[in-house]
Amino acid sequence: MKPAMKTVSKSDKLASVCYDIRGPVLDKARQMEDEGHKIIKLNIGNIAAFGLEPPDEIVQDMIRNLPHAAGYTDSKGLFAPRKSVVHYCQEKRIAGVTVDDVYLGNGASELIVMSINALLNNGDEVLLPAPDYPLYTAAVALSGGTPVHYLCDEQSDWMPDIADIKSKITERTKAIVVINPNNPTGALYPDSVLLEIIEVARQHQLIIFADEIYDKTIYDGHGHTSIASLADDVLCVTFNGLSKNYRSCGYRAGWMVVSGEKRHARDYIEGLNMLASMRLCANTPGQLAIQTALGGYQSIKDLVAPGGRLARQRDQAYDLLTQIPGVSVVKPKAALYMFPRLDPKMYPIANDQQFAYDLLAEEKVLIVQGTGFNWLQPDHFRLVFLPNTDDLAEAVGRIARFLDHYRKR
């Protein structure tokens, strides 16, 4: 007789891990698509899917390189693309970076998880923004750490609240995550804010994890400062990649740079090297694309310049959303997202996942609820302004209609 089948359960380690951008509401959208419904997707920053193709020279180099890119490489990556990242750091004035400090990854995501895993013991704390890009909270939880969220203040263009950061530091705080430009708010931090964060990190010996994956997706002629360029005495790990600025997230090409106070971090760097070795290497064609991208024409500039496609879509989404009663939005200075607020007096939402579900079911528009970004109140949502202006107008019109019904319920 066969023994009775045991249930296969997920690990307890996943108990507080959550990634709602690809969560149950997306499953529902897929099911609706299978049933023949057409959904307008404002849920994921998958740029190429909206007719914003990667630069042709990257695609052509990818094709040309494929036959010669079937082997493993060094765990940290090939020399030439890592050297191109060193040059990029020089342009961004991050001091003292050598090829040895550069790690290539299958997207920034892999390196984010790796760098957090290499650092944390059970119960160690990491300061993370609220709202956040939820991979960080998930990665800290999966590493046995405790995510501690600091507030970004909507009243001050979503700037990190430095007093709140300071109040949340404990003996166990190991690091602070700074996402600049920010997903989901579109905020871009001035040097003064970056310097304040550095001072906190300096005082409390925190590592700065700097996510700068949108550092060229910036509107209105603003510039971007790498936080690592302002702090050569604080350990910084900076993440970047091709997914957004070069519209090629499917190529899974990212990098991470360790800079600043490295002398006291030899043991941590050994941990990073070990984890980099365990995953053998990043995909080789993606590595080669990094070199092409960084050295090539920066066509993102045309998209974000006044009148460029992304700039127009941002303006349109902002104008239309702010015309809806009870909806307010901080106009993004960068990235691909907005994080609108729904006045709780007009829209008393108890469960914003249900809200996203209902919007999907009634109007076939897919957004992500604010609590999916570790925002505590159910009064925000995130949308991407990637669809063309016709689709965006249609989508925001449907959101307005849905909210009108919601109010009158």
Angle at 295 between CA 69 and CA 248, to 5 degrees: 60
Dihedrals phi, psi of 155, to nearest 5 degrees: -65, -25
Q: Is residue 26 at the binding interface for ligand PLP, with CB under 6 A as the rule?
A: no
Q: Is residue 108 at the binding interface for ligand PLP, with CB under 6 A as the rule?
A: yes
The CA dihedral of 81, 179, 134, 173, to the nearest 10 degrees, is 110
Closest distance to ligand PLP from the beta carbon of 88 (Å):
15
- What's the token pair of residue 281? 């290497």
Stretch of 10-18, 103-111, 268-276, 320-328 lying at the interface with ligand PLP (CB under 6 A): 103-111
Provide the 10 A C-beta neighbour count for residue 121.
10
Q: Is residue 160 at the binding interface for ligand PLP, with CB under 6 A as the rule?
A: no
Stretch of 89-97, 147-155, 241-249, 376-384 lying at the interface with ligand PLP (CB under 6 A): 241-249
Q: Is residue 114 at the binding interface for ligand PLP, with CB under 6 A as the rule?
A: no
Closest distance to ligand PLP from the beta carbon of 110 (Å):
7
Instruction: Give the Cα separation of 177 and 306 in Å (integer).
Output: 31
User: Which letter does DSSP use for residue 218 in this model?
Assistant: B
Instruction: Give the Cα separation of 260 and 237 in Å (integer).
Output: 9
Q: Is residue 225 at the binding interface for ligand PLP, with CB under 6 A as the rule?
A: no
Q: Is residue 131 at the binding interface for ligand PLP, with CB under 6 A as the rule?
A: no
Pick from 43, 185, 229, 243 the residue near ligand PLP by CB under 6 A. 243
Instruction: Give the Cα separation of 203 and 76 in Å (integer).
Output: 31
Site string for ligand PLP, 275-314 (x = CB under 6 A): ----------------------------------------
Dihedrals phi, psi of 121, to nearest 5 degrees: -95, 165
Name the one residue in this structure whose structure tokens are 């709602």.
20
Stretch of 106-114, 197-205, 257-265, 276-284 lying at the interface with ligand PLP (CB under 6 A): 106-114
Q: Is residue 213 at the binding interface for ligand PLP, with CB under 6 A as the rule?
A: yes
Q: Is residue 229 at the binding interface for ligand PLP, with CB under 6 A as the rule?
A: no
User: Which letter does DSSP use for residue 31 in this model?
Assistant: H
Pairing of strands 368-369, 341-342: unpaired
Answer for the pair 211, 223: CB distance below 8 angstroms, yes or no: no
Closest distance to ligand PLP from the beta carbon of 12 (Å):
26
Residue placing its CB nearer to ligand PLP in the complex, 131 or 406? 131
User: Which letter does DSSP use for residue 214 in this model?
Assistant: T
125 by DSSP, 3-state: which? strand
Q: How far is CA 156 from CA 24, 193, 273, 280, 357, in A?
A: 32, 12, 39, 44, 30
Stretch of 87-95, 107-115, 161-169, 359-367 lying at the interface with ligand PLP (CB under 6 A): 107-115
Can you spell out the DSSP letters for 77-122? Answer: --HHHHHHHHHHHHHTT-TT--GGGEEEEEHHHHHHHHHHHTTPPT
Q: Is residue 179 at the binding interface for ligand PLP, with CB under 6 A as the rule?
A: yes
Pick from 73, 115, 173, 183 the residue near ligand PLP by CB under 6 A. 183
Residue placing its CB nearer to ligand PLP in the complex, 286 or 402? 286
Closest distance to ligand PLP from the beta carbon of 350 (Å):
28
Pick from 147, 241, 372, 387 the residue near ligand PLP by CB under 6 A. 241
Q: Is residue 45 at the binding interface for ligand PLP, with CB under 6 A as the rule?
A: yes
β-strand partners of 178: 210
Residue placing its CB nearer to ligand PLP in the complex, 340 or 349? 340
Q: Is residue 109 at the binding interface for ligand PLP, with CB under 6 A as the rule?
A: yes
Residue placing its CB nearer to ligand PLP in the complex, 133 or 355? 133
Instruction: Give the Cα separation of 29 and 360 in Å (integer).
Output: 7
Which residues sit at the interface with ligand PLP, rule CB under 6 A?
45, 107-109, 133, 179, 183, 211, 213, 241, 243, 249, 254
